[in-house]
Amino acid sequence: MADELHRLTAHEARKLLSNREVSSVELTQAVLDRIAAVDDRLGAYLTVSDELALAQAADADTSLSNGGGGLLTGVPVSVKDNMCTKGIRTTCGSRMLETFVPPYDGHVISRLRDAGAVLIGKTNMDEFAMGSSVEHSAFKPTHNPWALDRVPGGSSGGSAAAIAADEAIIALGSDTGGSIRQPASLCGVVGLKPTYGRVSRYGLVAFGSSLDQIGPITKDVRDCALMLNVISGHDERDATSVEMDVPDFTEALTGDIKGLRVGVVDEYLPDDLDAGVRGVAEAALAELESLGASIERGVSLPNTKYALACYYIIAPSEASANLARYDGVKYGYSYQDGDSMWANMDGTRQHGFGDEVKRRIMLGTYTLSTGYYDAYYLKALKVRTLIRQEFDEAFERFDVLFGLVSPTPAFRLGEKTDDPFEMYLSDVFTLPTNIAGIPGMSLPAGFVEQDGQLLPVGIQLLAKPFDEASILRTAYAYEQATSWHTERPPG
């Protein structure tokens, strides 16, 4: 078994660790060996914190043998490189932060430490989380473990690829417009964006502050519930983190969805969809129905058609404000060859940011500028309210809304890099969720074959604010009845 330890889920690992059948040092070493064996071709990690991981593993073993231990004691976790880790480089996939070593831990990192987790490394991502393929990482692309010439999705593609290829036991990503769910779908793993406010953003490098949310990327639904238990809850350092009781999310894993009301959203299953992808969604619906859920088709959320435009005003507007802090003065990359302070600031931004980030800053600066603020930004906020209301009305009739995560399976590296709009379209089904602040999950539901390659497809489950439990309940029942979550890529 020792050479297969990296394949464990967190709940399986936790049990073996508690029974002292394996040690955290063994498990951590197995995951590090796995990274050493496959990451050259996958590129999921930007930093592997092996020394720290082994030291934390040894501590975990001590605490376990003393009968102690938290929810994740001794379990190796990987974290997207936009969450601040004290003493470990946090690059955000950008030259701007290439050498930035945070002096503090983000809230979720403190929570992971409190739960006893072992931090194995920081995963690759699109620069400042702007993108859907990790091709906007300033350092290297990440390859999809199912098909090496294809993207893993983004922006949390490093975490999703790491979980799919067993280069970590459990992981964290962040989702501003789909960045947990879309890569989870393309890599065949579970990804959950919690309700806005459920998880503190303290120490998450800000992109679109009213949209950003941290969440689990895991091998199965039980691990997703476990990780959500670890990271959820109020934190006074994030004013938008909500003060409300956090349920034990594993209690939602009953396997029973009899009478659950599922609404199938037309807009997330459009007519021109690839037949194979549609087939996956249809089969999943049939499965949910046979498990006793009541499925209603033909639910329409007509304002979905405005979501892309609305998102690409709000997110860049917030990004342009958030990214103004990278001026080369306080921290991060600093250009020094100019002949004035202003020239150095220009140089810092010119050389420190990649093209996509510059595009977003310019878009956002434009939409916030005098004369255009009302026409664009304010209008987008009004559309946001409409999108929210549409969801509120739908959730009066349904416990869960159903759709696809992404219109296509993993696309080829380089296929969309020349056309930003094509890239933006990868997220048409995931953006509305962030705009409304509601929770959403991508759940592995099958494969399509393209050019002889087997590519994963995820279904999307949405619920009303703070009702992650209904999503988990549905997903767990489905997962128990199917075996998609046990499939692994070759190699």
Question: In a 3-state reduction of DSSP, which class is residue 83?
Answer: strand
- If binding is defined by CB under 6 A, does position 250 make contact with ligand GLN? no
Whether 80 is catalytic is: yes
Decide: 291 and 472 in contact? Cβ < 8 Å.
Answer: no
How far is residue 466's CA from residue 101's CA, in Å, rounded to a whole number?
34
Options 132, 133, 156, 179, the catalytic residue: 179
Q: Give me the least distance between CB of 315 and ligand GLN, in Å please.
A: 5
Query: What's the start-to-end Cα distance of the chain, in Å?
Result: 17
Q: Which range touches ligand GLN (CB under 6 A), out of 43-51, 169-177, 234-242, 327-335?
A: 169-177
Cβ count near 267 (within 10 Å):
17
Q: Does 130 contact ligand GLN by CB under 6 A?
A: yes
Q: Which of 179, 322, 406, 474 binds ligand GLN (CB under 6 A)?
A: 179
Of 36 and 362, nearer to ligand GLN (C-beta) is 362
61 scored as a contact of ligand GLN (CB under 6 A): no
Out of 49, 73, 176, 250, the only residue in the binding site for ligand GLN (CB under 6 A) is: 176
Q: Whose Cβ is closer to ligand GLN: residue 207's or residue 353's? A: 207
Nearest to 460 by CA among 418, 389, 414, 403: 403
Residue 155: active-site member: yes
Give me the least distance between CB of 345 and ligand GLN, in Å please.
Answer: 25
Peptide bond into 155 cis (omega under 30): yes
- Residue from 132, 185, 218, 344 binding ligand GLN (CB under 6 A): 132
- Select from 65-73, 125-133, 143-151, 253-261 the region that touches ligand GLN (CB under 6 A): 125-133
Binding mask 257-296 for ligand GLN (x = CB under 6 A): ----------------------------------------
Q: Choosing from 132, 155, 232, 426, which is the catalytic residue?
A: 155
Does position 142 interact with ligand GLN (CB under 6 A)? The reply is no
Which among 24, 49, 80, 159 is annotated as catalytic? 80
Span of 14-22, 124-132, 389-397, 477-485 interacting with ligand GLN by CB under 6 A: 124-132
* Closer residue to ligand GLN, CB minimum distance, 179 or 344: 179
250: Cβ contacts below 8 Å, ≥ 6 apart:
222, 225, 226, 229
**Residue spans of beta strands (DSSP E) within 4-141:** 45-48, 76-80, 118-123
Q: What angle do CA 372, 374, 377 make, to 5 degrees?
A: 80
For the purposes of burial, counting CB atoms within 10 Å of the CB of 480, is it exposed (0-12), middle (13-18) or buried (19 or more)? middle
Gyration radius from the chain CA atoms = 21
Residues 301-330 that bind ligand GLN (CB under 6 A): 315
Half-sphere exposure of 348 (CA within 13 A, CB side): 24
| Token pair belonging to 476 | 């767990």
**Within the chain, how many helices (H) and strands (E) appear?**
15, 11
For the chain, the residue count is 491
- Mask of contacts with ligand GLN, 145-164, x by CB under 6 A? ----------x---------
d(CA 233, CA 245): 7
Of all residues in the shown chain, the one whose CB is closest to ligand GLN is 179
Q: Is 379 a catalytic residue?
A: no
Total interface residues for ligand GLN by CB under 6 A: 13
What is the spatial distance between Cα 188 and Cα 321, in angstroms, rounded to a whole number? Answer: 35
Q: Least distance from C-beta 332 to ligand GLN, angstroms?
A: 20
200: tokens are 């503190």
The verdict on 191 binding ligand GLN (CB under 6 A) reads: no
Enzyme catalytic residues: 80, 155, 179
Q: Which residues contact ligand GLN (rule: CB under 6 A)?
A: 129-132, 155, 175-179, 207, 315, 427
